[in-house]
Amino acid sequence: MRGAVIHAPGDVRFETVDDAKILKPTDAVIRTAVTCVCGSDLWPYRGVVPTGHAHPMGHEYVGFVEEVGSEVTAVRPGQFVVGSFATSDNTCANCRNGFQSSCLNREFMSTCQAEYVRIPNAQGTLVATEDIPDERLWPGLLAVSDVLGTGWWAADAAEVKPGSTAVVVGDGAVGLCAVIAAKELGAERIIAMSRHESRQKLALEFGATDIVSERGEDGVARVKNLTDGIGADSVLECVGTEQSMRQALHSARPGGNVGFVGVPHDVAVDGQELFYSHVGLRGGPAPVRRYLPDLIDRVLTGSVDPGKVFDLTLPLEQVAEGYRAMDERRAIKALLKP
């Protein structure tokens, strides 16, 4: 089979890789329906995360079950399935507490930009749809497996409540999906921080009520201005840089909460400042599995359409162009079709 392999920064190739096969009785193998390039894939692509040796790429997937291991009874060959970038048995203590992305048997997905994918912990990870969904819904279901699940976690961690004010820092696919989540969870005012016109447009379409294009302390000042000078109830940090984290912490009101889901790179939080801010802080890899049944249902019924974050569709074999387009910010998110 063929899949994407990163050889060095800026060098992603579509080439022959080892066939996906059942290695443990808890595995499944799926045939990829659609996959995509993630904003976090750009960290190694840009050399921020070093690439020691060539390795496969991709952690987002929806597909058709091809084969299951002897201990997998929850899904069967032929079914359409949605999963998560973090696999989980869904039975251990952390899973039962709803933090499946801290599963004691967790394995992160890392080979999904390929024709077939091995899914560890398939029994607890995969959720099958009742029927094969219409192909037009595949991008939305793919978004559920990572970016919507992660945006949802940002809103959940920041305790977005009906009638509240939410700020979303970051206008990548996760940030835009965080706008959807804030809206669905009842936020009345949603302030999206974005300086790109096409992304601002999508944020408004997804439910943002205000756009702030300033960054840093200027952005914070605008947010304060829009919130009677005290800050927002909930801030959803979807970038992972020092600046975005500072912007998020300073935009929350005393007693408010920041949910941070951008993987932090060189982010340091000042303990004393946090102490006196009275701001609650929670983040981490999203427990997408907890949200899957609900989010799949919202996509299938058409109440949300996160598939709109894909503004570029390419054949899987042109995966390298997907990376280039996202690196050069010509695309928000690239959808790849085998």
Give contact residues for Zn ion (rule: CB under 5 A). 88-89, 92, 95, 103
Retrieve residue 182's tokens: 């804030």
Contact in structure between 109 and 58 (CB atoms under 8 Å): yes
Pick 97 or 303: Cβ nearer Zn ion? 97
Contact in structure between 147 and 306 (CB atoms under 8 Å): yes
Pick 95 or 119: Cβ nearer Zn ion? 95
Least gap, CB of 292 to Zn ion (angstroms): 14
In the block, tokens 């598939």 appear at: 307
Least gap, CB of 124 to Zn ion (angstroms): 7
Least gap, CB of 123 to Zn ion (angstroms): 11
Residue 108, beta-bridge partner list: 86
Pick 12 or 103: Cβ nearer Zn ion? 103
Pick 51 or 91: Cβ nearer Zn ion? 91
Angle value at C-alpha 33, between 30 and 35, nearest 5 degrees = 95
Torsions phi, psi for 300 (to 5 deg): -65, -30
Least gap, CB of 74 to Zn ion (angstroms): 14
Least gap, CB of 26 to Zn ion (angstroms): 12
Retrieve residue 249's tokens: 């912490």
Contact in structure between 113 and 63 (CB atoms under 8 Å): no
Pick 89 or 237: Cβ nearer Zn ion? 89
| H/E element, 18 | none
Least gap, CB of 291 to Zn ion (angstroms): 16
Pick 29 or 103: Cβ nearer Zn ion? 103
Least gap, CB of 114 to Zn ion (angstroms): 25
Pick 16 or 73: Cβ nearer Zn ion? 73
Retrieve residue 160's tokens: 């977005």
Other beta carbons within 10 angstroms of residue 8's beta carbon come to 13
**Using CA atoms, how far apart are residues 224 and 252, in angstroms rounded to an integer?**
9
Instruction: Using the Cα atoms of residue 148, residue 150, residue 154 and residue 156 in order, give the sign of their dihedral.
Output: positive
Contact in structure between 82 and 145 (CB atoms under 8 Å): yes
CA 37 to each of CA 153, 205, 206, 322: distance values in angstroms, whole numbers, following the listed order = 20, 23, 21, 7
